[in-house]
Amino acid sequence: MTADKKTAKMYNGSTLAYVGDAVAEVFVRSVLVECGISDTARFNELALRFVTAHAQSEAYSKISELVTEDEKEILLRGRNAKLTHRPKNQTQSDYRRATGFEALMGYLYLCGNEERAKELFEKSYEDVIFGIKNKML
């Protein structure tokens, strides 16, 4: 599904994060497969380096200065979205920033700008991806 920018901006932060969660998951799986990971236990272990609220909160921090004004608005909308719950073992600030990161991934996907989403994803996790590629993790 591809919406135009105007339509994508109309979605609330939670909706964008819902889509963005799936987009980020596809990127994670793609990275792991491209790095030659084939063992499911290893898959799951390494995926946690990307998908926890803490990891996504750090990703938010790494790209917050690299985004355009439109993208910054979406990061903030996601971060400030009304929370209905918080997973165990996560701080509220990590969870909020993770939601902002996912909202941006969802927004870019819905706008048809998957390349930009992938670019920001890779910049967010460049240390993790480097570690996996070089068998350091």
Query: Does residue 21 have an active-site annotation?
Result: yes
What is the CB neighbour count within 10 angstroms for residue 61? 12
DSSP 58-79: HHHHHHTTTS-HHHHHHHHHHH
How far, in Å, CA of 96 to CA of 102, rounded? 10
Selected catalytic residue, list 4, 21, 39, 127: 21
| Residues contacting residue 72 through CB under 8 Å, at least 6 positions apart | 64
Provide the annotated active-site residues. 21
